[in-house]
Amino acid sequence: MSQLRRKPNLSDESLPHDVVFDILTRLPVKSLIRFRCVSKSWYSTITNPIFITTHLNHNLNQPKSLVSNTHYNNSHNGFLLYKSSDKELCTLVYNSDGTFTEVSRFQIPFLASSVVDYCNGMFFLYSFFGPTNAVYLWNPVIQKFKMIDVMHLRPFTVEFLETVAFGFAYQSQNSDFKILRIVSYEGLGDEKAPPPDAEVYTLSTDSWRTVELSVESVPNIGSIFAVLPNSCVFLNGALHFVAYTWGNDSDNFILSFDVNDEIFREIRLPENYLDEFYSKFDDCVHQLVVFKGMLALVVLGPAENVDEDEDEINTDICLIWVMREYGIVESWTKTNVLFDWVMTFFDCTNSGEFLIETFDSRLVSIDSESLQVNNLRIQTTTWLAYTADLMENLVLLDQQNEADTPLSPERNHGE
């Protein structure tokens, strides 16, 4: 992405090549794919890394959707992405009247067990299948994908368990995509677990690098914490995870990772935020989301006021805490309490609606103020996400699909 290469020359008798280059950067991806056949010079331009990056940055400044505006109202509320089956991802337009219109269905071209994230037109998936664990970057619009081998950071042993947390983000300073991988270890029996490891993959260099996992305010962080694997959210140029310490709920915190300077930082969780739950940290589900542009913490678990004499604990609650001022611990505010509704909390829309799966297996949106429920009419899914704009880009156009040819450790892991 950030490689320095000479801008390709466009042979056109009527227009200077810089003018043609600029015009092409403003065109939709599907048109550019067709225009590769116009001439060798156009093919060279459209598949050039400089052009791909320039086109992406133009779309970031002036977002375009994957579909024409004639397919939906311009005042739509964004898009929903969800996994309709093991091999298919669907896109819906969230219309301004609360209805949904299907835009597209993409066949996943490889065996991937879970979708991790979506960012600027790129999907990040993780597969447990095959001889080695692998992650994938996938651009469905141009039907390109890249398989990236994930190697063990420490020699494999049966003496401790590994928990892996991933983060996926776009680095605006260098116009590059990055993957953060944090591996936490839990000792079995009396074995003491090693400290967590962290590494970063950069698309432009096609390599992994280890990064130091430390936070100034918690100097011994490396030996006392682990990271929840499904809690990541990207906001303000940083990836955020819920991190926890062994045996002390008061020391739990949010671990942030700035994708530009690659430094870890700490954000404290709301004080006494678990007081309303019957169970404490280990039995509650924690998730980070972006709520109306602010960092928010979602906690699901059984309520504190249950009757311990009852055979079943049948009162669950979902608390949503919002950090009104980013990084200011005192600005945490509890905004919503949902009872008996939430089995899975997926995401939030820009307007502040909660996207959840209820205990009766319905996928719904809930207005954060009126608590009005809107049935999404989507079949049960293992992954659902919201995006305000469906970016399209040419990322990976200059590369071959590599699902059948794993990358070698020497090529995939840099120093």
Q: Per mean pLDDT, which range of 3-7, 91-95, 193-197, 336-340 is the poorest?
A: 3-7
What share of the chain in percent tops pLDDT 70? 80
Q: Which of 54-58, 309-313, 404-408 shows the lowest per-residue confidence on average (mean pLDDT)? A: 404-408
Q: Does residue 36 sit in the same domain as residue 102?
A: no
Inside any domain, residue 410: no
Residue 413 inside a domain? The answer is no
Rg value, the chain, Cα? 23
**What mean pLDDT comes out for the span 288-316?**
77
pLDDT of 131 higher than 60:
no
Does one domain contain both 193 and 88? Answer: yes
What are 177's strand-pairing partners?
170
Residue among 140, 92, 152, 141 at smallest CA distance from 112: 140
Whether residue 82 is contained in a domain is answered as yes
pLDDT tens digit sequence for 237-278: 999 999 987 656 567 889 999 999 999 999 999 988 888 887
With contact defined as beta carbons under 8 Å apart, do 87 and 107 qualify? yes
Q: What is the pLDDT of residue 233?
A: 96
Mean pLDDT to the nearest integer, 281-290: 87
394 pLDDT exceeds 70? yes
Task: For the chain, count helices (H), then strands (E).
Answer: 5, 25
Of residues 296 and 185, more confidence is placed in 296
Cα Dmax for the chain:
86
Residues 6+ apart with CB under 8 A from 282: none
Residue 143 belongs to some domain of the structure: yes
Q: Residue 24 sits in which domain range?
A: 1-62
The verdict on 19 and 155 lying in the same domain is no
Q: What is the C-alpha separation between 208 and 201, in angstroms, rounded?
A: 4
pTM of the model: 0.86
CATH number of the domain that residue 98 is part of: 2.120.10.80
Task: Tell me what the pLDDT averaged over the chain comes to.
Answer: 82
Residues 33, 104 within the same domain: no
**Model pLDDT, residue 399:** 83
Are 140 and 41 in a shared domain?
Answer: no
The number of folded domains in the chain is: 2
Please name which of 150, 215, 160 lies closest in space to residue 181, comparing C-alpha atoms: 150
Residue 393 lies in a domain: no
Residue 315 domain-assigned (yes or no):
yes
